[in-house]
Structure 1
Amino acid sequence: MLTLFRWLLRIATALVVLTVVIVVGVYYFLSRSVPDYDTTWRLRGVSETVEIARNTWAVPHIFAQNDADAFYALGFAHAQDRLWQMTVLRRTAQGRLSELFGDRTIRTDELMRRLDLYTLAQESVAAQDDDTAMALDAYARGVNAWINLVNDRALGRGAPEYFLFPGEIGLWQPADSVAILKLMAVQLSGHIESEVRHARLSALIGEERTRDLMHEDDSAGVAAMPDFASLFPTLDPTQLAMAPSVPGEAPGEALSPFRSWDFAGASNAWAAGRLRSANGGTLLANDPHLPFAAPSIWYLARLELSTGGVTGGTIPGIPAIIAGRSSNIAWGLTTAYLDDQDLFLEELNPDNPEEYRGPDGWESFETRRSIIYVADQDPVTITLRWSANGPILPGRHYSLASVTPPGHVAALSWTALTGDDTTMSAAIGMMRAQSVDAAIAAGESYVAPAQNLMVIDGEHIALQMIGRMPRRSEDHPTRGQMPAPGSDPNARWDGYFPYSANPRFVDPETGLIGNTNNKPLDRPFPLHVSYDWGDTVRIQRWIRLMRQRTVHTRESFIEAQLDTVSQAARTLLPLVGAELWFQGDPAPEGTPEAQRQLALQLLADWNGEMSEHLPEPLIYAAWMRELQFRLIRDELGPTADMFEHMEPAFISRVFRNENGAGIWCDVVQSAVEESCVDIARTALDAALLELSGQYGPAIESWRWGDAHQATHDHPVLGEVPILRLFVNIRQSTSGGDNTLMRGLTRGGPPGAPDPFLNVHGAGYRGVYDMADPEASVFIISTGESGHPLSRHYDDLGVLWRRGEYIPMTLDPDLARAGGVGTTRLEPAP
């Protein structure tokens, strides 16, 4: 027995030692790819010595003797910290994810191939101006310099993910950067889904009730909109009603860039002129919203160029400050929601499916084959087809099959589908601009995705929509709101409007400009910009905050940027609960009635602040979510699943009975006529029952932050059971779908898991004060490094969650002082 015990002890000890050795070995190899920020490299491709001074948070401050070397160093720094992220972005744009990840990404690759973004990016390289061509080339050489160092010095393959997904790291090309910029257009565009949604609703419930649910411009004569079914008589109504709703592409697929309409983009930007500023200088606050991930899509950097220093937020893979400031200007962006996409239903020739009906007869598709290579499987060959209106998309994407009649296919016209895309030149030009006028002029080259450029200098403030605006005929059959017949010449685009037609606001009398993805102006079709907007209520809260002060400061702009009061909650709760407050005697403790009374009492005393520490935001969000589902499910059936988030304007219309919208409260299938009070009560009871099952019966112990956690998840390793504990960043957060500090919830149909997780918001925040530019502050939602073993993987995320910021100086001496090290790039002999 003693001998057995000794052998067991020896085996156990050996296993422990072996485990320790393996862990230490794995850690050693993985840590090899954590870059050393305090070193000197002798490299080809750089003409003079360049310094990359990293501050306390590892933000690179790049000092070069010429612009080419500055862009070279930016590419080098991006690759040091985010090489894996850049590789995945490039593969996404190329439609080559499946080479690494297998069949889980085939659908994404297929759609990217059909859009052909990478081919268009390659063509667009030649369209850039000389300055941008220089920047793209120098940046690519900088990225490749780090890739070569990784290979030559065995630096852990550049990122730990490469050990799990082996393969050659291809050298960076200028087209890769242009392709990533086009990829951003994919994420920030949602009018395809909007057209499909509108068509299905129109056929199911008619135009009047459709307007209840859609964010439409009633001043544009929407009442004259034709019934969708009348445009395509062969379309089966049951096809519209019963088809499953699949917003965007591959729901839940973290690697997919395709998002539903709710996630198409949202941002905040506001500016104050000198007369509305306490210190006499102009002010600007900006926080672009994108899906959360670890690492963030944003990366802070500072460049010294021949036109002066510039600092702010970059996107790895793109050689430009996307939003930030120089000594003379500051600028930010919000999604413009320009209607830059149209769906066309092309009629196929019954005798030759390779032809479609054009305005003057049958025309031939442009076709070619494309091979998708799949890890551990046989390759997949697809046939790409284009009509004169754009690429042909399969019916399984965007629920297109539900609105495509027999004998037809869907084609997409989109401003981003062009081979002369000079958006990169516009980005470089805006970064170099020295005045508001110069920045606006640079925006003329911008193509897609359409953005609102908010820009200030020492004297002026302005908002300019940048991006090509399609020119539609005044006789367009659907005004771009629904799919149109591809053969109708009135439906086809007639080029683009001139840049001067884009909305522009310069130095308004109020001294303030703001945009929260709201409708900025009223113009008739076809100059209307869009019928669908990303916000109807956040702008109201912003106006209220701006009116509370005669003059503003950097601190008041920060306060507004971090504001978590839901104007939607303040508006809806008095409407929905008008007949429920304080009804009846106190119910016996422990009964559903008592729980309802307590919930209503809490909501009655609540100011609408979506604080992570309170139960009221959770009660409100669950109630409104359940209420909307009960209002629309009986009329829409499975189509109701398209509405994954509560629409405040819809619930307001229903409970105000605007244009008879109160009819939604009656359940069509029941014999009894339900009132809005009835459905509000039953929805609240159902919401409380669901919350009790998840968080326990004690309402006072519920916390919004437990449900509303920011999900900075690694898009690849974040799903691996053990690794997810190390690579995912989860934080309890305040805010919600309709607050200025927006934290868009995951949403989903009833029964969807974790519907209140915070998945989309301000990954970058900047506040700029031109009276004292050095007092400007910045933050991103994770850290500069994409390496989970780096202490800079999530250090900025801690500050971001607390609503704190960091400074980023343009003073060379301050930038070089302290920090975590200085990397020197010297020319090799």
Structure 2
Amino acid sequence: MKKLKKVLIVLTGLLFIICIGSIIFFNSLKPDYEGKKMLPKLESEVNVFYDTYGVPHIYAQNKSDAFRALGYIHAQDRLWQMELLRRVATGRLSEVFGKDLLETDKFFLSLGIDDYTSKTISELNMDSEMVKLSNAYLDGINEFIEKGPTPIEFYLTGLKKEPFSLKDSYNAIGYMAFSFAMAHKTDPLLTNIKNQLGEEYVREFPIHSDTSTVWIKNYKNVEADSIGTDITASVTKALDKLPVPQFEGSNSWVIAPEKTKSGKVILANDPHIGFAQPSVWYEAHISTPNYEKYGYHFAGVPFPVLAHDRNLAYGLTMFENDDIDFYLEETNPADSTKYATEHGFEDYVYVNKEIKVKDAEAVSFTYKKTRHGPVLNNIAKQITTKEPIAMSWVYTKPKNEVMDALYGISQAKNLRQFEHALPKIHAPGLNVMYGDAAGNVAWWAAAKLYQMPDSISTKFVLNGKTGREEPLRYLDFSENPSAINPPWNYVYSANNQPDSISGMLYPGYYLPENRARRIVGLLDAKNDWDRESVSEMILDATSSINPVLITELIRLLDVSQLSEEQLIQIDALKNWDGNYTLDNVSPTLYHRCEYFVLKNTFEDELGKEQFNQFMGTHLLKRHIAWGAKMNVGKWWDNILTKDKIETRNEIVLKSFADAWNSLVSDFGKNPSEWTWEKVHTLEHGHPIGQVEMLRKFFNVGPYPVPGSREVINNMAFPYDSTGLYKVNSGPSTRRIIDFSDVENSISILPTGQSGNPFSKHYEDQAELFVNGKFRKMMMNKEEIMENSESLLIFKAHD
């Protein structure tokens, strides 16, 4: 017995020591928000005041010192995020997550982002201030890598920390550029549909511009000169496995002084990006004697993508222009190393790559390139077609000056300086939104746009052999859509179709008019906007389109076949104002019906795999309202019922019955239990949180959330057979800059500033976000010092 007691005492002691050791170890992994640190190469001391939510306010005597400190503090909160983002373009995700990411790595390596980056850096002026500030930022990151604690994710994955270089920053921008694109999800799919089913089916899609919807209006004071398969499946699978968020859409509007209560400009912006943990943006306020900016930073990129100061503010939405084209190539039947062009046969370029794979041997693979770009057929095993299809992407074509553009807009002091930097954005296509203290409001579509020959549709795979389906020229930036101080006294973007300029409508993958119509309706109706009313508008969860669509479909129902309970819910749908509140049943019934209408319309022709691909496109979103109004059409018939031709009425009736039965199965017979909060939820997923036992520690949520697809509070979700609408993208921040009181402008992040799960700022904004709350973006130094929670001081030496 005494021996047993001794053993128990020893074991208890060991357990206690292990617990204490674990606590000490995990505490050592927390970011340091206070104290003093050495930061080599500083010219003078830098003070970093952290506010209540972990936003750093950096005070330095010069910009280089400020950006060096920014790099350090950005890394201590987001190094894991930086690590993943730099690995995407270089095909190094399999090294972290194993063979499941091989297809993703192959795909991104074949895009040529990394090779394009190498070329870009070789041509940089290393003495430019842009490069010097970028390197100062990278110095700060690397100092943290060398001296700071290692984030827990590196221990869990067995990764070693590696220094960052300018190449990593450019590769992060390259990933951002591709994640905006939609052509890879749409063009091959449309081509497959046309080849499999015929052009009559394709003509029933809203592929081209719809003149009946709300467009973004141009306003120019000077008239411009007039100018005349399988791949989808593989790309979708590759992108679905990405452990980092993809860019989706966005809202922004800037209200001119004539429409505000104060007579000053107000800017609102909420870029829509895939939800993840950590969230995309890192906020930082920098102040030096000759530079100040409150900015939102992308991991590994030194200059803010969204920002404001006391003089001007800017935000972004996705332009959704078409900047990717696919070309069907023809291999020489006598020599498989050559392909056909209008000038004869040219050599394929063969590119060899090697991918390191966790817990496995490295994988070598080879792909070939044509003059258009990489041939995708050898990128993933799902592609079995013999005909080579190459992808042409604008991002890797012209000179890359995107970093110069970000630097330029962040340094601009007025509208003209700001506009001067925008032509350097060639891809991704961005709607750049601007407002300033002088009363100017502006919108520019910034991208390298190109003109195709007449009658050529870039929404289908093009002929790569003839030379007759090639771009004719790049447009000058002055020809891009834009509006500066228009007479209607506001500018806006909701990723919808821009009006024509230079005599043509630019092709793209624009989103439907739903959000645009609501934004325009609200802005037109009011001339006394202030910060409070704009903050209500950015949270608006009312659809102005869905109730109209419901009215169209309800009249097709045979009420004599409906039960009393069904009639009650149909009546509620008739009277629904389109508002997506958590306690409402109508949104749940509407979306369940909509899903089954789509399923019963398209799945018979497309099959399950292509139907799921179609459901992930912007084309599908545009088709919902468009297609519901079509009395007759090829898609309505179920081709699986050989002895019958279905009509729209029959599809709607069947879909209502399917929806009702599925809701009864999921939630019971009482419709009052079918509330929106039961099905519409948001969970911010961390890559490590995919392991179930670690989910609660790394993931944030889930929370029931108001809003829906294509309302201003755009809490988007994919449709699938589960009937559960798990939000996967939405506002990556909500910001409102009011130039009547710029120091009281407001913002919110979806989770928190830090990506370190041991930080108190890992998720301290999550509940504020889902409840529609905001916090102040402080810029006044006295207020910052008075309200700061901690002070971190950087010194060059003791």
- Verify same fold: TM over 0.5: yes
Q: CA-to-partner distance for each residue in 1:557-612, whole Å, 9 max, x for gaps?
A: 2122100012232121101111438x349x7xxxxx34533432332332211112
Q: CA-to-partner distance for each residue in 1:749-771, whole Å, 9 max, x for gaps?
A: xx3x4651001011111111122
Q: 1:806 aligns with which of 755, 760, 775?
A: 775
C-alpha spacing 1:359/1:311, structure 2 compared with 1 (3 Å): same
Whole-angstrom distance in 1 between the partners of 2:78 and 2:141:
10
Whole-angstrom distance in 1 between the partners of 2:714 and 2:35:
40
Q: CA-to-partner distance for each residue in 1:217-245, whole Å, 9 max, x for gaps?
A: 1579xxxxxxxxxxxxxxxxxxx6x9994
Whole-angstrom distance in 2 between the partners of 1:110 and 1:256:
16
Match of 1:557? 534
Q: Which stretch shows the higher mean deviation, 679-688 or 274-283?
A: 679-688
Q: Do 2:154 and 2:160's aligned partners in 1 also have CA atoms closer than 8 Å? A: no
C-alpha spacing 1:784/1:427, structure 2 compared with 1 (3 Å): same
C-alpha spacing 1:122/1:822, structure 2 compared with 1 (3 Å): farther
Partner secondary structure for residue 744 of structure 1: coil
Q: 1:692 aligns with which of 651, 657, 664?
A: 664
Q: Which amino acid aligns with 1:465?
A: A
Q: 1:278 aligns with which of 257, 261, 276?
A: 261
Query: Does 1:576 pair with 2:559?
Result: no
Whole-angstrom distance in 2 between the partners of 1:782 and 1:813:
27
Match of 1:232? none
Alignment of 1:475-494 (within 5 A): 478-494=456-472
Alignment of 1:198-213 (within 5 A): 198-213=190-205
Q: Which amino acid aligns with 1:147?
A: I
Post-superposition offset of 1:24: 4.4
Whole-angstrom distance in 2 between the partners of 1:651 and 1:112:
32
Q: Which stretch shows the higher mean deviation, 97-106 or 27-36?
A: 27-36
Whole-angstrom distance in 1 between the partners of 2:601 and 2:121:
50
Query: Does 1:136 pair with 2:134?
Result: yes
Q: 1:436 aligns with which of 415, 419, 435?
A: 415
Whole-angstrom distance in 2 between the partners of 1:740 and 1:89:
28
Q: CA-to-partner distance for each residue in 1:439-493, whole Å, 9 max, x for gaps?
A: 1111111121110001011221110011211332336xx3311111212212223
Match of 2:424? 445
Q: 1:674 aligns with which of 640, 646, 657?
A: 646
Match of 1:384? 367
Post-superposition offset of 1:11: 8.0
Q: Which amino acid aligns with 2:390?
A: A
Partner secondary structure for residue 85 of structure 2: helix
Q: 1:101 aligns with which of 85, 97, 106?
A: 97
Query: Does 1:77 pair with 2:73?
Result: yes
Whole-angstrom distance in 1 between the partners of 2:231 and 2:465:
26
Superposed CA RMSD in Å reads: 2.6
Q: CA-to-partner distance for each residue in 1:236-263, whole Å, 9 max, x for gaps?
A: xxxx6x9994562336424266x6xxxx
Post-superposition offset of 1:183: 0.8
Partner secondary structure for residue 374 of structure 2: strand
Identity of aligned residues (%): 25
Partner secondary structure for residue 351 of structure 2: strand
Q: Which stretch shows the higher mean deviation, 682-691 or 635-644?
A: 635-644
With the length of structure 1 as denominator, give the TM-score of the two structures.
0.88
Whole-angstrom distance in 1 between the partners of 2:327 and 2:623:
28
Whole-angstrom distance in 2 between the partners of 1:488 and 1:30:
63
Q: Which amino acid aligns with 1:352?
A: D
Whole-angstrom distance in 1 between the partners of 2:616 and 2:599:
10
Q: Do 1:127 and 1:421's aligned partners in 2 also have CA atoms closer than 8 Å? A: no
Alignment of 1:661-740 (within 5 A): 661=633, 663-670=634-641, 671-715=643-687, 717-730=688-701, 731-740=703-712
Whole-angstrom distance in 1 between the partners of 2:483 and 2:142:
42
Whole-angstrom distance in 1 between the partners of 2:257 and 2:179:
35
Q: Do 2:512 and 2:622's aligned partners in 1 also have CA atoms closer than 8 Å? A: no
Whole-angstrom distance in 2 between the partners of 1:118 and 1:412:
16
Partner secondary structure for residue 390 of structure 1: coil
Whole-angstrom distance in 1 between the partners of 2:3 and 2:598:
67
Partner secondary structure for residue 432 of structure 2: strand
Q: Do 1:766 and 1:777's aligned partners in 2 also have CA atoms closer than 8 Å? A: yes
Query: Does 1:61 pair with 2:57?
Result: yes
Alignment of 1:319-398 (within 5 A): 319-394=302-377
Whole-angstrom distance in 2 between the partners of 1:514 and 1:456:
11
Q: Do 2:746 and 2:776's aligned partners in 1 also have CA atoms closer than 8 Å? A: yes
Query: Does 1:629 pair with 2:629?
Result: no
Match of 1:779? 748
Alignment of 1:126-525 (within 5 A): 126-127=122-123, 130-150=128-148, 155=149, 157=150, 159-217=151-209, 245=233, 248-250=236-238, 252-255=240-243, 265-305=248-288, 307-394=290-377, 406=386, 408-418=387-397, 420-457=399-436, 458-474=438-454, 478-522=456-500
Whole-angstrom distance in 2 between the partners of 1:464 and 1:108:
33
Match of 2:623? 650
Partner secondary structure for residue 378 of structure 1: coil
Partner secondary structure for residue 130 of structure 2: helix
Q: CA-to-partner distance for each residue in 1:144-181, whole Å, 9 max, x for gaps?
A: 1111112xxxx3x2x11111112321111011111111
Whole-angstrom distance in 2 between the partners of 1:194 and 1:744:
19
Q: Which amino acid aligns with 1:657?
A: M
Post-superposition offset of 1:306: 5.4
Post-superposition offset of 1:803: 1.1
Q: Which amino acid aligns with 1:690?
A: S
Whole-angstrom distance in 1 between the partners of 2:153 and 2:129:
35
Whole-angstrom distance in 2 between the partners of 1:556 and 1:652:
29
Whole-angstrom distance in 2 between the partners of 1:743 and 1:161:
29
C-alpha spacing 1:397/1:543, structure 2 compared with 1 (3 Å): farther
Partner secondary structure for residue 250 of structure 1: helix
Query: Does 1:28 pair with 2:20?
Result: no
Post-superposition offset of 1:713: 0.6
Partner secondary structure for residue 52 of structure 1: strand
Q: Which amino acid aligns with 2:407?
A: I
With the length of structure 2 as denominator, give the TM-score of the two structures.
0.92
Post-superposition offset of 1:305: 4.4
Post-superposition offset of 1:32: 1.1
Q: CA-to-partner distance for each residue in 1:76-125, whole Å, 9 max, x for gaps?
A: 11101011111111112211111222101111111121112122223223
Whole-angstrom distance in 2 between the partners of 1:298 and 1:452:
18
Q: Do 1:296 and 1:783's aligned partners in 2 also have CA atoms closer than 8 Å? A: yes
Match of 1:229? none
Post-superposition offset of 1:192: 2.0
Whole-angstrom distance in 2 between the partners of 1:633 and 1:723:
37
C-alpha spacing 1:70/1:418, structure 2 compared with 1 (3 Å): farther
Query: Does 1:793 pair with 2:762?
Result: yes
Match of 1:228? none
C-alpha spacing 1:266/1:701, structure 2 compared with 1 (3 Å): same
C-alpha spacing 1:763/1:651, structure 2 compared with 1 (3 Å): closer
Partner secondary structure for residue 710 of structure 1: strand
C-alpha spacing 1:23/1:568, structure 2 compared with 1 (3 Å): farther
Whole-angstrom distance in 2 between the partners of 1:295 and 1:34:
15
Post-superposition offset of 1:547: 2.6
Q: Which amino acid aligns with 1:282?
A: V
Whole-angstrom distance in 2 between the partners of 1:539 and 1:399:
38
Whole-angstrom distance in 2 between the partners of 1:465 and 1:271:
15
Q: Which stretch shows the higher mean deviation, 667-676 or 610-619?
A: 667-676
Whole-angstrom distance in 2 between the partners of 1:629 and 1:178:
41
